[in-house]
Amino acid sequence: MSSATHRAIEAVWRIESAKIVAGVARMVRDIGLAEELAQDALVAALEHWPDAGVPNNPGAWLMATAKNRALDRLRRDRNFEDKREQYGQDLEALEALIVPDFVDALDAARQDQIGDDLLRLIFTACHPVLSTDARLALTLRLLGGLSTDEIARAFLVPEPTIAQRIVRAKRTLAAARVPFEVPRGAELAARLGSVLEVIYLIFNEGYTATSGEDWMRPALCDEALRLGRVLAELASDEPEVHGLVALMELQASRAAARVDAAGRPVLLLDQPRARWDPLLIRRGLTALERAENLGGALGPYALQAAIAACHARARTADQTDWPRIAALYDALAQTAPSPVVELNRAVAVSMAFGPAAGLAIVDALLAEPALQSYHWLPGVRGDLLAKLGRHHEAHGAFEQAAALARNARERELLLQRAAASLTAGDAAPIIGHQNKTGDSP
Amino acid sequence: MRFMILVKATPGSEAGEMPEEALIAAMADYHEQLVKAGVLLDAAGLQPSAKGWRIRHAGGSARVVDGPFAESKELVAGYTLIQVRSREEALEWTRRFPAPHGSGVDCEIEVRQLFEMDDFGPSDAAKRFHDMGVGV
């Protein structure tokens, strides 16, 4: 077999597999079986294409082959009558065997918010009946067309673990009789939240990858971005989808500037902005605009994107619009309150309105149980105290922060600041305040 | 990885002939597919070289040369920038690119991979390129 054809088939599979699994799943109402049948079609392609050549429309070929297998399977399914019973109100759906477009008409009649197979597949793979780990693996497998080996490498776990996770996830979906549908009405918002969370978790998993790790890890960022862009077309009237895409585009735009030549992380305000990717910034700002144009109050993803956009728009760190960022954190703290958001708000407020205003917010957080071992809390506090000239207290806060820091380099920086506070000199900023290196064009 | 699909010019495109409706529709269909697959980053058509110019470096000095330029098949008439997971995926997408000047018009599209940050390797000179914003 020609290996070029083999690689071409693999590429076609990457492009088409999600659509095929989704199309077949609409017929058989079981994504595990649908994937199996889609795989059968792939095997058929591997048998035929090396001799016959890749067809002009390989996607249609695979789809037709998979759907034929599905028909065969359903016809000879001995439990056909059981299934009729099992599906109950979905009885008509099985008429798809006779009139393939009937299901579409049925769904239109049921006023599915978005009657698209791919969208159903995304919602099913991210169903809350599954654990978060299972949702991530199943989404990458079914929507991304990644192999279990690739997913395992991306998450730094053994391949059998992922294989098992996917098998169990499919079983769970079947056992819970999760319908292959896009949720409607009030349920949609919560279920969409799960889909967005899964995509953002995939993105962050890739974003935290360090150099020297398997390239599949950073590739997760690209895959999450791709999934987000796909979703933005499928659910184009959902502002938070565009908000998430905007957030990921803007964060990805900084990827090249996030670490220095030695592989050490560089804080946002210290990053050389010339290395931020202008194309991704433009795409991020456009996506944010789409979210804003849909009207209504911005959701948590769009708000975070709007904050990232403030940084992206500033040509230098000095030109950052801190009052706007503080206002956006205000809104975020109301929409999605969390102690970490509150701490970020404190930093933004201190940058916009002075260290005393920021310190008031930080001090209110000191009793927060969730932040008791979070080194950034005393770290930020120490920084604000130092700026207010309260060096003795700053020293204590930095020492406390250093004791909590898990990363050796961060600990070292915090101890340096603690020592500097003792001598009451001007300490180097820890979160990049009074940035001196970010003034590149 | 990113690939740029370069549509080469024809005497027609260089003469400023606008594409027919059917061709615009075919291009829109194709680019819609790219968007739905989440792989399209950017795309644009370029005006004829008659409206452009070149800066020619020769003998240690630079000189402005106004268009139009000859050899239209060497000129670029448009581009589509995609981000995909493999070279083969890019090949598959470009195989599906519609005949860019309409069926029956001889022309070429050329596909080039963009340099990514890692392609430069660790060196001081490469770092300076990065700081200039070159190579992603």
Any domain includes A237: no
CB contact B134 to A (< 8 Å): no
How many other β-carbons are positioned within 10 Å of the β-carbon of residue A362? 26
Any domain includes A338: yes
B130/A222 CB distance under 8 A: no
> What is the model's pLDDT at position A411?
86
Q: What is the rounded distance in angstroms from the CA atom of residue A312 to the CA atom of residue A316?
A: 9
A256/B130 CB distance under 8 A: yes
pLDDT for B90 beyond 60: yes
Any domain includes A437: no
CB contact B42 to A (< 8 Å): yes
CB contacts of B85 in chain A (<8 Å) are 14, 219, 222-223
Q: How far is B97 from chain A (nearest CA, A)?
A: 12
Containing structural domain, residue A325 = 321-422
| Number of domains making up chain A | 2
> What is the model's pLDDT at position A81?
57
pLDDT class of A407 with cuts at 50, 70, 90? confident
Interface test with A, best of B80, B89, B123 (most A CBs within 10 A): B89
Any domain includes A289: no
CATH number of the CATH domain containing A184:
1.10.10
Any domain includes A20: no
Q: What is the rounded distance in angstroms from the CA atom of residue A6 to the CA atom of residue A47?
A: 10
> What is the model's pLDDT at position B26?
93
pLDDT for A292 beyond 90: yes
What are A136-159's pLDDT values in tens digits? 999 999 999 899 999 999 988 999
Question: What residues of A are in the B interface, CB distance below 8 Å?
Answer: 7-8, 10-12, 14-15, 58, 219, 222-223, 225-230, 233-234, 256, 261, 272, 274-279, 283, 440
A226 to chain B: closest CA residue: B38
A57 to chain B: closest CA residue: B96
Q: Is the pTM higher than 0.90?
A: no
> What is the model's pLDDT at position A306?
97
Domains and CATH numbers, chain B: 2-131 (3.30.70.1060)
What are A50-107's pLDDT values in tens digits? 888 888 889 889 999 999 999 988 887 755 555 555 554 444 444 444 444 444 444 4
> What is the model's pLDDT at position A83?
56
Interface test with A, best of B42, B85, B97, B134 (most A CBs within 10 A): B85
Portion of chain A with pLDDT greater than 90, in percent? 64
Are A203 and A229 in contact, with CB atoms under 8 Å apart? no
Residue A68 phi, psi (nearest 5): -65, -40
Partner-chain residue, chosen from B36, B122, B136, that has the shortest CB–CB distance to A233: B36
Kind and range of the H or E element at A250? helix A239-252
> What is the model's pLDDT at position A226?
96
Give mean pLDDT, residues B32-47.
94
CB contacts of B93 in chain A (<8 Å) are 15
> What is the model's pLDDT at position A381?
96
CB contact B93 to A (< 8 Å): yes
> What is the model's pLDDT at position A215?
77
Token readout for A38 is 């889609």
Burial of A117 (0-12, 13-18, 19+ CB in 10 A): buried
Partner-chain residue, chosen from B89, B127, B130, that has the shortest CB–CB distance to A14: B89
> What is the model's pLDDT at position A285?
97
Portion of chain A with pLDDT greater than 70, in percent? 86
DSSP state of A184: -
Any domain includes A418: yes
CB contacts of A219 in chain B (<8 Å) are 85
pLDDT for A184 beyond 90: no
Any domain includes A139: yes
Q: What is the rounded distance in angstroms from the CA atom of residue B97 to the CA atom of residue B34?
A: 10
Any domain includes A414: yes
What are A158-183's pLDDT values in tens digits? 999 999 999 999 999 999 999 998 88
Q: Tell me what the pLDDT averaged over chain A comes to.
A: 86
Q: Which of A163, A249, A220, A230 is nearest to A18 (CA)?
A: A230
B86/A8 CB distance under 8 A: no
Residue B53 phi, psi (nearest 5): -150, 170
ipTM metric = 0.80
pLDDT for B131 beyond 70: no
> What is the model's pLDDT at position A130?
96
Q: How far is B117 from chain A (nearest CA, A)?
A: 7
Cis, peptide link before residue B68, omega less than 30° from 0: yes
Q: Are strands B53-58 and B61-66 parallel, antiparallel or unpaired?
A: antiparallel
DSSP characters for A72-106?
HHHHH-TTHHHHHHHHGGGGGGGGGGT-TTHHHHH
Domain stops at, among A151, A181, A216: A216
> What is the model's pLDDT at position A436?
34
CB contact B94 to A (< 8 Å): no
A254 to chain B: closest CA residue: B136
> What is the model's pLDDT at position A104?
45
Give mean pLDDT, residues A389-413.
89
Give mean pLDDT, residues A106-130.
72
CATH number of the CATH domain containing A379:
1.25.40.10
> What is the model's pLDDT at position A440?
30
Are A19 and A61 in contact, with CB atoms under 8 Å apart? no
Q: What is the rounded distance in angstroms from the CA atom of residue A286 to the CA atom of residue A242?
A: 9
Partner-chain residue, chosen from A14, A15, A275, that has the shortest CB–CB distance to B133: A275
Give mean pLDDT, residues B46-71.
94
